[in-house]
Chains A and B, each alone.
Chain A
Amino acid sequence: MVIPFRGVDFLEFDSLLNDDERLVRSTARQFIEENLIPIIEECNRAGRFPRELVKPMAALGFYGASLQGYGCAGMSNVEYGLVMQELERGDSGLRSFVSVQSALVMYPIYTFGSDEQKQQWLPALQSGEKIGCFGLTEPDFGSNPGAMRSRARKSGREYILNGEKMWITSGSIADVAMIWAKVENPKEEKDERNTRNTKDECVRGFLVETDRPGFKAQDIHGKWSLRASVTSGLSLQDVRIPESNLLPATQGLKSPLMCLNQARYGIAWGAIGAAMACYDCALQYAQLRKQFHDKPIASHQLVQEKLAWMVTEITKAQLLALQVGRLKDEKKTQHQHVSMAKRNNVWMALECARLSRDILGANGVADDYPIMRHMMNLESVKTYEGTHDIHTLILGQNITGLDAF
């Protein structure tokens, strides 16, 4: 008998949630249990994004769930986080899709966009009619996006975009790309020597419809992680967009970093979901699997130590994410808080995946069980949206006042 996922609640964590929060979690949990769990291993094996779930997730309100208006549900940050947790309990790839659509495409349009842009895009993205992607990372620059090479040049009432973007979730299935590029200073256009003067160049965000001439997206194949989501490289060669496609309120690198901060917050919750899935599987397995003396392996001290470590770390991660969420709901959260939660929770989840795999022995590497898939997914999650090490430096800078980048 397959035992449905019931969450992990060691320390009466649920008593810290209100009725709505529990209900939101239960909707997301039930949706994943019924719609993703039955197909995820096949998707992962085939490297297929379950696109058939895009509209059903929209119907439940998963995209832009924490935004107000435009058909969005206006969830609190804690409720949004709980949805992310349940999605990633299913698969990090599906959670990534929702994160990108919500935090990296809808959020910047909502925060930096004009009224026309909001009217045009938010209802369509909320309802899953349109899919978005976020282009910040480049082949040569990941952790240091400030050094990006992508450029936007003003020409009449248009911008002309050139550049390469890499590791872009949903890149080739997107209808619109949120592209970040440096606007070349028109004065310096004539003076080649000055084009490296970054002081005068400002990172700004552009909405680029993916059917514009010069825009190409190519999928990255052979990845051993997030196989159930689409990852692409984007190439922009003299892509002309009307000036009305510039997000008017974007100003400098701070703007895309605000988006990332939003997404990182969701990841801090999502990672708990992946950890719970692994722990839940390992615990069930350990109670059934017999090896020595006809006793379940859960009766051995070394196995118990692993289970005890996992349940402790999951519990700590829940409390950390909840506190950051509560602060965020009070508009008191700071970026270093989110860094701590993302860094700790993804690390913890990856350790849980490794320990769980250990408990399952050889069975742990097969896709009869979800553990290896989560483990491989989490390797990406550890790296994207600010690597583990970059978050360490953000924390270091915050507590010492010294920049160690």
Chain B
Amino acid sequence: MKILVCMKQVPQKDAPLKLNAGGTWIREDVSYEVNEPDAYALEEALRQKEKNGGEVIVITAGPGRAQQVLREALAKGADRAIHLEDDAFVGFDALNMARALAAVIKAEPFDLIFTGLQSDDYGYAQTGVILAELLGIPHATIVMQIESSGDGIRVKRELEAGYFQFVEMPLPAVLTIQSGINKLRYATLLGIKQAKNKPLRKITLAELQSAVPAGAAGNLQKIERLYVPQKTKNTEFIQGTPAEAARTIVEKLRNEVRVI
């Protein structure tokens, strides 16, 4: 079984939020980490490999700093890595990103492609789904469990309100993996050393020219403005006799707060 895990480097989710000057995205000089659902996707891929044999390949798209994500995955046990390296990938929407990934995957087929359920920064939850569509293969989202079943697989999906769905599907397929479905392993010190000798292939944006000709300009989604929610605390004293005040409150509850 040959599994590709699509991973993303995202700003640390509990670090103080710093916005860029244009207010369109987060500043570059924050701390970064592996997107949480992607870490679970990697763990699941490594477990599948340990159970069924095969190969785990990790891929990411982003600036030089994003290589840390691949290093960590290699240290944890991935066999090799692919880095789509360009600053521009940071601004890619889900469609554009899926196009870039699909271009690489078409050149080298995989049995299974994992993505995290969604990214902790944009939170689109679309990249994996669009990727499957572009590749013309089936997909399942919010996957919690994967088992071999005949020539294909049987997966458990999380639905709402405590319901689950079991789906049989053929291979190859794209699965978007839910957070928390397994226990993440640590990168051992020996693993970190050994990762240095594992292959890491770099692909430039220019090599993907035909798939994403316009770069980020080809996005269909655009972030207009990003801002920290403003705290507004407004205390209003209602004057008048008790009867008048009651009337005012009812009016406000009905027309302003709209709860009655």
Contact = CB atoms under 8 A, between A and B. Distances in A.
Which residue among A71, A73, A75 has the maximum number of chain B CB atoms within 10 Å of its CB? A73
A204 to B, nearest CB: 32
Contact of A23 (B12, B14, B68): B68
Interface in A46-98: 59-62, 65, 71, 73-75, 79, 83
A73 B190 contact: yes
B196 to A, nearest CB: 7
B15 A24 contact: no
A20 B190 CA distance: 11
Interface residues of A, number: 23
Given A19-B71, A22-B68, A75-B193, A6 B188 contact: no
Contact of A75 (B71, B75, B189): B189
B19 interface: no
A384 interface: no
B193 A23 contact: no
A361 interface: no
A6 B16 CA distance: 11
Given A3-B14, A6-B15, A27 B193 contact: no
B229 to A, nearest CB: 17
Contacts of B31: 6
A156 interface: no
A24 B186 contact: no
A369 interface: no
Given A4-B14, A23-B71, A23-B75, A74 B186 contact: no
B72 interface: yes
B65 to A, nearest CB: 9
Given A27-B192, A60-B186, A61-B190, A20 B71 contact: yes
A285 interface: no
A347 interface: no
Contacts of B196: 20
Contact of B188 (A4, A19, A20, A61): A61
Interface string B173-216: 00000000000001111101100100000000000000000000
B67 interface: yes
Contact of A27 (B14, B68, B187): B187
A65 B193 CA distance: 11
A27 B12 CA distance: 16
A6 B187 CA distance: 18
Contact of B187 (A3, A4, A23, A75): A23
Contacts of B15: 6
B59 to A, nearest CB: 17
A75 B194 CA distance: 11
Given A19-B68, A20-B71, A60 B189 contact: yes
A23 B187 CA distance: 8
Interface string B1-44: 00000000000101100000000000000010000000000000
A31 interface: yes
Nearest to A14: B31
Contacts of A61: 188-190
For chain A, what secondary structure do more than half of its interface residues adopt (helix, strand, loop), or is it mixed?
helix
B35 to A, nearest CB: 15
A49 to B, nearest CB: 21
A31 B186 contact: yes
Nearest to A62: B189
Contacts of B188: 27, 59-61, 73
B181 to A, nearest CB: 17
Given A19-B67, A19-B71, A23-B71, A65 B186 contact: no
A334 interface: no
Given A19-B67, A19-B71, A23-B72, A83 B14 contact: no
Interface in A119-161: none
Nearest to B71: A19
A30 interface: yes
A60 B76 CA distance: 11
Contacts of A20: 71, 192-193, 196
Given A6-B12, A23-B72, A23-B75, A65 B189 contact: yes
A71 B189 CA distance: 11
Interface string A200-244: 000000000000000000000000000000000000000000000
A222 B233 CA distance: 54
A24 B14 contact: no
A22 B31 CA distance: 12
Nearest to B67: A19
A75 B191 CA distance: 11
A346 to B, nearest CB: 25
A83 B189 contact: yes
A83 B189 CA distance: 10
Contacts of A79: 189
A30 B192 CA distance: 15
Given A60-B186, A73-B190, A75-B193, 20 more contacts: A6-B14, A6-B15, A19-B67, A19-B71, A20-B192, A20-B196, A23-B71, A23-B75, A23-B187, A26-B187, A27-B187, A27-B192, A31-B186, A59-B188, A61-B188, A61-B190, A62-B189, A71-B190, A73-B188, A73-B193
12 contacts: A3-B14, A6-B14, A20-B193, A23-B71, A23-B75, A27-B186, A59-B188, A60-B189, A61-B189, A73-B188, A74-B193, A75-B189
The 9 closest A-B pairs by CB, nearest first: A61-B189, A73-B189, A73-B190, A61-B190, A27-B187, A61-B188, A19-B71, A60-B188, A27-B186
